[in-house]
């Protein structure tokens, strides 16, 4: 299997035997995954398989308790870091359900976030003019109304606007690892293409993307290097782009049956 621009000497994210519980329910039950710089990984799975648990646990959401296993980010223990430290180290989560922040305007919010990241990277605060220009440019690319940046974060946004706004943040904050949690769901085909364009633009040898999705539709536009199938808290099969197509043709039951009857599982 080939992967564009992959750098196998530099694993960005290493997940080893990860167990995660929410409340008293164990959702991830020993998940293994390695993401190198330059790679795009798609994690697919049916509802309730643990896709969002994976992204939330990686981002450090407090109620997702890691009970076993380890996660290294550029060789450092990710699980010891606060959510904001993970973000500053370059980890970005595009939320499946972005929350409303009344009274906090998009522009101020992103400016504050960018300042925090730049400070961490040892950079000066950029000028307000440059920031506004960048924001305007990226918003335009995503087909977002320029008035949107003056509105309160996610307040009164349509479903599509919320998803595009997540990608706008990714484009502006320029992280290293982007976790996209069902960013494609709820988008019509035009919006999907716009989002896919932005993701492809982000895709570079010094970045990596972990794309979590229920449908393979977005993979028609963002070609993954690897596809993983997540069922019941474990990755049960990994492959290339073809796996996604096969999955679409045959459904998740096919994989589940294959796993349960003990047939080959390639990891």
**Least separation in angstroms between CB 88 and other proteins:** 5
Q: If you search the block for the tokens 């080959």, which residue do you land on?
A: 264
Q: Is 51 or 86 the residue whose CB approaches other proteins more closely? A: 86
User: By the criterion CB under 8 A, which residues form the site for other proteins?
Assistant: 59-63, 82-84, 86-88, 92-93, 95, 98-99, 101-104, 109-110, 112-113, 116-117, 120, 152, 169, 173
Angle, CA of 203, 100 and 177, to the nearest 5°: 20
User: Is the Cβ of residue 119 or residue 137 nearer to other proteins in the bound state?
Assistant: 119
Least distance between other proteins and beta carbon 250 (Å): 35
Comparing CB distances to other proteins, the nearer of 34 and 152 is 152
Task: Output the smallest distance, CB 104 to other proteins, in A.
Answer: 4
- The rounded distance, in Å, linking the Cα atoms of 215 and 12 is 26
d(CA 139, CA 3): 30
Q: Which of 34, 27, 98, 100 is nearest to 64 (CA)?
A: 27
Residue 104: burial class (beta carbons within 10 Å; 0-12, 13-18, 19+): middle
The least CB distance from residue 155 to other proteins, in Å, is 10
Q: Is 251 helix (H, G, I), strand (E, B) or coil?
A: coil
Q: Which is nearer to other proteins, 39 or 181 (CB)?
A: 181
């Amino acid at each position: 299997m080939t992967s564009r621009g992959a750098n196998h000497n530099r694993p960005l994210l290493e997940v080893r035997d990860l167990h995660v519980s929410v409340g008293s329910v164990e959702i991830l039950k020993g998940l293994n995954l390695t993401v190198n710089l330059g790679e795009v990984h798609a994690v697919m799975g049916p509802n309730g398989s643990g896709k969002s648990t994976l992204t939330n646990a990686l981002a450090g959401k407090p109620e997702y308790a890691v009970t076993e296993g380890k996660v290294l980010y550029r060789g450092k223990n990710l699980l010891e870091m606060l959510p904001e430290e993970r973000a500053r180290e370059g980890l970005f989560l595009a939320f499946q359900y972005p929350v409303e922040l009344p009274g906090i305007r998009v522009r101020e919010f992103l400016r504050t976030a960018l300042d925090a990241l730049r400070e961490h990277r040892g950079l000066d605060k950029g000028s307000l003019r440059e920031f506004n220009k960048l924001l305007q440019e990226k918003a335009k690319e995503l087909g977002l109304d320029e008035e949107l940046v003056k509105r309160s974060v996610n307040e009164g946004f349509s479903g599509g606007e919320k998803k595009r706004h997540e990608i706008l943040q990714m484009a502006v904050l320029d992280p290293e690892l982007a976790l996209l949690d069902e960013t494609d769901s709820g988008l019509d085909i035009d919006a999907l293409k716009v989002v896919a364009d932005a993701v492809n633009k982000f895709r570079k040898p010094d970045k990596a993307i972990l794309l979590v999705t229920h449908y393979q539709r977005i993979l028609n536009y963002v070609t993954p290097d690897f596809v993983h199938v997540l069922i019941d808290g474990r990755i049960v099969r990994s492959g290339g782009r073809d796996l996604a197509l096969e999955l679409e043709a045959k459904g998740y039951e096919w994989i589940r049956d294959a796993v349960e009857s003990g047939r080959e599982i390639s990891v």
